[in-house]
Structure 1
Amino acid sequence: MTTLDVRARRTTGRPRAGAHVFLLVLTVALLAPVAWAVLSSFKPAGEIIRDPLGFDPATLTFANFRGMFQDVPIGSGFLNTGVVLVAKGAITMFCAPLAAFAFAKYSFRGKNLIFGTVLLTLMLPVIVLIIPLLLEMKELGWVNTYQALILPGSVDAFAIFWMRQVIAAVPDELLDAARVDGCGEFAIFLRVIVPAIRPGLAGLGVLTIMNIYNDFVWPVVAASSSRMATLQVVLSTLAQNIKGNRVGADYATVTGELLAAASIALIPLLILFIVLQKHFINGILAGSVKG
C-alpha cells in the first residue's frame, strides 16, 4: 500500500467519522424529548413535577394510563381517525396516480395550464381555504360528518406532482408494447404503470398516512362535536376533558395523563415507520427523479 493510498483513506475516513458523529448527535437531540415523554408517562404524577429528569424503575406505574382512558374519549378519537385514514387514503392512492398518469404520458390541450394550476394550489396556505370549505360543508349539510373530514383535500396536489415525477420515468416503449398487445388505457395503468411505480406508491402511502393521522386544523373546524373528533383534536382538548371529568385534578395529574395519551398516539406511527422504513426510503428516491 502506497503513501498516497494511506492518505486517501485518511481523508475519506475523516468526513465519514464526522458525519456519523453529527448524525448521532442529531438523532439523540431529536429522540431525547420523545424518550423523556414516554418514560415520564410511567412515573407517578407527582414525580413528573418534582423530578422531571429522573426515573426510578421501582416507582413505575400505569396510573396515568388508567386515568387517561377514564377521563378522555381517546378510543373514539382513534376510531374516527381510522375511518378517515382508510377512506381518504384510499381516494388519494387511487386518484392521484391516475391524474399523474394523464399528466405524465398524454398530450392534450391545456395540459400545462391545468398542471400549473394544480401546482399553484400548493402555494395557498391552508388557513386561506378553511372558511370557503367550511361554508361549502355547511351548504351541503356535511358539518360534523365523515364526508367533511374525508373529501376535502383527498386528492392532494403534492401527491399528483410526486406521482407525475415517478410515472414520467417509466419508458414509453412499455406502454406502446402493451397497446400492441391489445391493452386498454386503464389496463395499461394497472398492469404496466402500477407495478413499475411501487416504490413511489409506497413512499406516497407513508406520507399520506402521516399527513392524515397528524392533521389537526381542518378536523378541529369541520368536526366540532366530540362525537366526530379525530385523535389529534382529542389530544388538543385533553386538559379540558381531564379537568372536566375529574374534580380537583391538579397540574401534575393533567401532565401525567397528557404524556400517557401522547405515548399511546405515538405507537401507530412508530410501528408504521419501522415496518415500512425501507419502502419509504425507496419511495423518496423514486420521487426524486426528473420527469
Structure 2
Amino acid sequence: MTRTRLTLSSVVTQVFLVLLTLLFLAPVVWAFLSAFKPANQIISDPLGFDPSQITLDNFERMFQDVPIVRGFVNTGIVLVLKGGLTLFFAPLAAYGFAKYEFPFKDLLFGTVLITLMLPTIVLIIPLLLEMKELGWVNTYQALILPGAIDAFAIFWMRQVIAAVPDELLDAARVDGCSEFGIFARIVLPVIKPALAGLAVLTVMNIYNDFVWPVVIASSERMSTLQVVLSSLAQNITGNRIGADYATVTGELLAAASIALVPLLLIFIVLQKHFINGILAGSVKG
C-alpha cells in the first residue's frame, strides 16, 4: 500500500512538473516558431503554424534594419572581460575572508553584505557622475568595470571556500606551496562546481543587463544587445518607411529568438554544473 502511494505521488509530481515546464516554455516556443512565419500570418493567425509557409524574411529584414550584430559584439566583449574579472577576483576575495584572519575582517565582510541590500537604481547617478569625471562615458571601461567585483559572488564563494578543510591548506604550506599556489592548486579544484554555477549566473546577469548599459552607453556604437533590443521598434520604423505592425512584430520576434539562443545553449551545456554549483553554494561556513 505504501509503495502504491509513493508511486502515485511520484506520478502526480512528474505530471505537475511536466505541465509547469510546458507552461513556462509555451511563450518561448511560440515566439521562436512565429519568427519563421510570414509577417501577416503572425497577426492574422497568431496560434497557427504551417511548416510549408516557413520563411526567413523576418530575419533578413531584421538584419537590414537593426544593428543587432554590433549589439552582439559589444555584449560579447563585456561578457568576456567583465565575467573574467568576476570569476578571477571574487573567489580570491572570498578566499581571504574565509581562510585568513586580519584586522576589521568582520566589518569589511559586513560592508560587502550591506551593498547587496542597495537597489541598483540608487547607484546609477553616483556611478554616472564618476564615469563622466573619468571621461569614460560611452566606453568599454564604463560597461566593464562598475560591478565587475560582485558582492554576491564574493559572499557565495566565501560560503563554499569556508567548507574546504584547513588541513589541506596546512599540508600544502608544509610542502612549500605559496599562498596563491594553494588557492590555484588546492582550493580552485575543490570549488569548481560552485565556480561553474557562478559562471552561469554571471553570464546571465551580464547578458541580460539593461539599466546600466542604457545609461552609460547612449551611442549606437557602444550599445549592448539588450539596449539594441529595447529600441528595435524605433529602429525598424525609422529605417523602413511605411513599416506596418505585422512587419515590426515579425522582426521583433526574429531578434528575440536570436538573442535567446546563446543563453539557451550555455544553460544546456552547463546545466549539470549549475545545479551542482547551487547545491555547493548552500553549504554554511
TM-score range for the pair, normalised by the shorter chain length: over 0.9
Q: Which amino acid aligns with 1:261?
A: A
Aligned to 1:36: 30
2:193 to 195, 199, 211: 199
Aligned to 2:125: 131
Aligned to 2:270: 276
Q: Could you list the runs of 4 or more consecutive aligned residues of structure 1 that deviate by over 4 angstroms after TM superposition?
A: none
Aligned to 2:204: 210
**Alignment pair present for 1:158 and 2:133:** no
Between the aligned partners of 1:103 and 1:14, the Cα distance in structure 2 is 48
Aligned to 2:45: 51
Aligned to 1:174: 168
**Alignment pair present for 1:249 and 2:240:** no
Aligned to 1:185: 179
Q: Which amino acid aligns with 1:236?
A: S
Between the aligned partners of 2:163 and 2:32, the Cα distance in structure 1 is 43
Find the residue that maps to 2:13 and give its secondary structure: helix
Between the aligned partners of 1:201 and 1:137, the Cα distance in structure 2 is 30
Structure 1: runs of 5 or more not aligned: 1-6
Using the TM superposition, give the Cα deviation of residue 14 of structure 1 relative to its aligned residue in structure 2, in angstroms.
2.3
Aligned to 2:2: 8
Task: Point out the more displaced range, 59-68 or 17-26.
Answer: 17-26
Structure 2: runs of 5 or more not aligned: none
Deviations 1:208-267 (A, max 9, x none): 011000000000001010000000000000000000000000110000000000000011
Aligned to 1:259: 253
Using the TM superposition, give the Cα deviation of residue 15 of structure 1 relative to its aligned residue in structure 2, in angstroms.
2.1
Find the residue that maps to 2:148 and give its secondary structure: coil
Between the aligned partners of 2:47 and 2:174, the Cα distance in structure 1 is 68
**Alignment pair present for 1:118 and 2:109:** no
Aligned to 1:3: none
Aligned ranges for residues 133-152 of structure 1 at < 5 Å? 133-152=127-146
Using the TM superposition, give the Cα deviation of residue 19 of structure 1 relative to its aligned residue in structure 2, in angstroms.
1.2
Aligned to 2:75: 81
Q: How many residues of Structure 1 are paired with residues of Structure 2 in the alignment?
A: 285
1:227 to 210, 221, 224: 221
2:15 to 17, 21, 26: 21
Provide the TM-score with structure 1 as the length reference.
0.97
Using the TM superposition, give the Cα deviation of residue 21 of structure 1 relative to its aligned residue in structure 2, in angstroms.
1.3
Aligned to 2:62: 68
Provide the TM-score with structure 2 as the length reference.
0.99
Using the TM superposition, give the Cα deviation of residue 108 of structure 1 relative to its aligned residue in structure 2, in angstroms.
1.3
**Alignment pair present for 1:107 and 2:118:** no
Between the aligned partners of 2:5 and 2:154, the Cα distance in structure 1 is 43
Between the aligned partners of 2:12 and 2:161, the Cα distance in structure 1 is 37
Cα RMSD after superposing both structures: 0.6
Using the TM superposition, give the Cα deviation of residue 11 of structure 1 relative to its aligned residue in structure 2, in angstroms.
2.1
Q: Which amino acid aligns with 2:260?
A: L
Q: Which amino acid aligns with 1:239?
A: A
Using the TM superposition, give the Cα deviation of residue 137 of structure 1 relative to its aligned residue in structure 2, in angstroms.
0.3
Between the aligned partners of 2:127 and 2:12, the Cα distance in structure 1 is 49
Using the TM superposition, give the Cα deviation of residue 107 of structure 1 relative to its aligned residue in structure 2, in angstroms.
1.2
Between the aligned partners of 2:78 and 2:176, the Cα distance in structure 1 is 38
Between the aligned partners of 2:13 and 2:153, the Cα distance in structure 1 is 32
